Amino acid sequence: MSAATLSFSTKARRTPESPISYFMEKAIGNPNLISLAAGLVDSESLPAGPVARAMAEILNDPKAAKAALQYGTTRGYLPLLEKIAGHIATLDGTTAQAMGISARDVMVTTGSQQLLYMLSELLLDPEDIVIVESPSYFVFHSVLAGTGVRVVSVPMDDDGMKTGELEATLTRLDAAGELHRVKLIYTVDYFQNPTGRTLSVERRRDFMRIVHAFAAKQRILVLEDAAYRELRYEGPELPSLKSLDAGNRHVIYAGTFSKPLSPGMKTGYAIVPNDLVDHLIRLKGNHDFGSNNLSQYVIHHLIANGEYAKHVETLKNVYREKRDTMLNALQAEFADMPEVHWTKPRGGMFVWLTMPTAIPTTPGGAFIENSIREGVLFIPGEFGHVDDRGPVPKTEARISFGDAKIPQILEGIKRLRKAAGAAAP
Amino acid sequence: MSAATLSFSTKARRTPESPISYFMEKAIGNPNLISLAAGLVDSESLPAGPVARAMAEILNDPKAAKAALQYGTTRGYLPLLEKIAGHIATLDGTTAQAMGISARDVMVTTGSQQLLYMLSELLLDPEDIVIVESPSYFVFHSVLAGTGVRVVSVPMDDDGMKTGELEATLTRLDAAGELHRVKLIYTVDYFQNPTGRTLSVERRRDFMRIVHAFAAKQRILVLEDAAYRELRYEGPELPSLKSLDAGNRHVIYAGTFSKPLSPGMKTGYAIVPNDLVDHLIRLKGNHDFGSNNLSQYVIHHLIANGEYAKHVETLKNVYREKRDTMLNALQAEFADMPEVHWTKPRGGMFVWLTMPTAIPTTPGGAFIENSIREGVLFIPGEFGHVDDRGPVPKTEARISFGDAKIPQILEGIKRLRKAAGAAAP
């Protein structure tokens, strides 16, 4: 009927296809597949009982039911916003007031992903500069690609982003007359996706010192993606960058109930500097004028009745055991391959594996093909990197203990070892 | 600490502040306010019982609970997508197969608003052209403003968009060498927001004839916003533009469960041409990688067990009575002002009022200020117009019988009459 093909927007044409779909499809035929690739949460511990009870209580109360099933506001359910401000302050060992935040600075989003997207839309024009850790969360890379910005990476080590390198990078950009284009620094500072690494206390203080020092010349915002923060299995609670941001000026703190409660309710939130929050809410008005209201009521209910806190404690035990299983299995299976090493995350759900140069993790390579044949899936590490500092590492992999059950983790690591053995030259 | 102010993206700077906030804030101080402005649905009839039972059944079934509380796919819950394809085909008196659609062409969105937003993002660059009805849904105008497109309006009458004018507009754009910039025609073709008007059968056929005739030169997509379709209180079911789009080539059908079920579950959907759907899903992957999964399970459950269909029948009776109340009240109160006229919608929740020239509905004008003082709120009609054809009408208003209770509707129209009387010169 029509010969004309569709033409897409400049932005759409900049947005790459998900790098994951290629081998997800390759793997789909294998019913015995063990996926250490997906970012799913542990299915067995999902809070069906508490959610069912909260739903019943809300829906059997005529007034609450009417409000929860009706449109909410774009910003989110006010009592939930208040709980969130208090909750994050408590994690930081202080009060919302002392942190300089209130419900007025909080907004609800459809998972924290929506915050990442909207913030990019609100701030970024092509040729702007965004600073990320290397490696970083690959879905955010895809969002950034859509905006046409220049992504500048800062190396990490086991203490998270190297703040010395961050400072050097900003100084270099300043010298090049490009500081005014630097709009955002993105960090997943707790149990990072993909590496499992956490920004140390010293680095946190240094990070904010740097941001504050450059603020006289350029107000650089920090997107602190704290999605995994509450899944902490050992070590002390660390102060958020937000808590070190006196005056609530620089840090957008992105949190979510997907990891510590249930991704099926897809409810995230952000704590946002005062002069930014209304702009984000206006943009959200155009996106959807508010996330799922019923889920916001349920989550508020679960925080208020203490079930949320209880659930997080349960989850920590569940994931700690799975993490230990994975780390022990790696230790056992790869004992004879000392060139293989991996991170030891103190929380979250990801371990970052580095293979020897001879066993690249590249899509299409022998290791990944063998893995798929053996029935185990990982995420090639290169998807987490950008190439602003030269060729990206080709020997890394993200493996997750999120959804795999303990016997699957054990078997999955066995299969990885087999695949690696067969791939070794 | 920092003197630097924030700089926003070009897109953000193009996006206007919501025109509504100004007088919403003015009105907030009045506890006796009757809002005929809001697009809320009827609170009393929200399906608390059916949703509570569906939630309990899903959450008490361990397998279903785990799936519903876990991440879903970006596209949406497959059994729900299948139900949607069948449901729309049934409304159109046919089968999905006969319509040339399947679950593969359906996607779930966070309300239909998200579809409007993402489609605009996917297709539109600055200087592209989008054709809308005049007046049209003002939130979509705000989305379009963000994209930097040129909005070209086509007049309506009681049979909806004047298709003769549509054809003349496209012919004119073609002659001007601008047809290649025409990417989208937007129509709310059932019980339109804001006018309550419906595109007639003859116009529907003519509309698609025109789109197909121009397709040899330019594939123009049609965004059929059918948000109110199921709230039909009289007259026959009319065929969707989608059902008249042989080969599923031109029409994106946007539907929602917000109006016929519950906005608190914020679940919309779209039926999309084959070569477009994966692009939209990829974009949604960056936005949020999937809308609320739990609500999708609940809605599927309610469709499967027949509760959804029953609820829609109940709603029709509820809204029909409210509509009749509003129309009768207008008739009674404005009997002595024969220059005032209004639409008689056969469905939906909006009546479009036209006041005499001497009583403009403009924000800041005497009528609206009197109304706020009397305690009744409406939406000024000018927000629904764009000025591509000269100055926009200043005497129209959208009034809704959605959420107001019957006594409030009666009192609200009385107050409107008082405000109009006091505003008349």
Model pLDDT for residues B155-214, shown as the tens digit of each residue: 999 999 999 999 999 999 999 999 999 999 999 999 999 999 999 999 999 999 999 999
Interface contact flag, A287 B66, Cβ < 8 Å: no
Alpha helices in A48-149 (DSSP H): 48-59, 62-69, 78-91, 96-99, 111-123, 138-147
Written as six digits, the tokens of B100 are: 């040339």
Smallest Cβ distance to B8: which of A10, A216, A279? A279
Query: In the structure, what pLDDT confidence band is assigned to residue A188 with cuts at 50, 70 and 90?
Result: very high
Please tell me if residue A278 touches chain B, with a CB cutoff of 8 Å. Answer: no
Residue A94's φ and ψ, nearest 5 degrees, are -145, -165
Contact B146, B14 (CB under 8 A): yes
Contact B178, B129 (CB under 8 A): yes
Identify all chain B residues contacting A122, using CB atoms and an 8 Å cutoff. Answer: 8-9, 12
Identify all chain B residues contacting A110, using CB atoms and an 8 Å cutoff. Answer: 110, 287-288, 291-292
Query: In the structure, what pLDDT confidence band is assigned to residue B24 with cuts at 50, 70 and 90?
Result: low
Q: Is the ipTM of this complex over 0.90?
A: yes
Identify all chain A residues contacting B295, using CB atoms and an 8 Å cutoff. Answer: 292, 294-295
Q: Residue for token digits 């009749």?
A: B324
Kindly give, in sequence order, each residue whose CB lies less than 8 Å from that of residue B310, ignoring residues fewer than 6 positions away. none
Which residue from B264, B226, B272 is spatially nearest to B107, judged by alpha carbons? B272
Kindly give, in sequence order, each residue whose CB lies less than 8 Å from that of residue B212, ignoring residues fewer than 6 positions away. A1, A2, B250
**pLDDT tens profile A7-60:** 899 999 988 777 666 656 666 667 789 999 988 999 999 999 999 999 999 999
Interface contact flag, A294 B291, Cβ < 8 Å: no
**pLDDT tens profile A54-102:** 999 999 999 999 999 999 999 999 999 999 999 999 999 999 999 999 9
Give me the amino acid identity at B205.
Answer: R
Identify all chain B residues contacting A80, using CB atoms and an 8 Å cutoff. Answer: none
Q: pTM of the entire structure? A: 0.97
Query: In the structure, what pLDDT confidence band is assigned to residue B2 with cuts at 50, 70 and 90?
Result: very low
Identify all chain A residues contacting B114, using CB atoms and an 8 Å cutoff. Answer: 287-288
Please tell me if residue B56 touches chain A, with a CB cutoff of 8 Å. Answer: yes
Q: Classify burial at A175, counting beta carbons within 10 Å of its beta carbon; exposed 0-12, middle 13-18, buried 19 or more.
A: exposed
Mean pLDDT of chain B: 95
Statement: residue A1 has pLDDT above 50 = no
Interface contact flag, A66 B43, Cβ < 8 Å: yes
- pLDDT (average), residues B273-290: 95
Q: What pLDDT sits at residue A28?
A: 60
Rounded CA separation B182/B173 (Å): 8
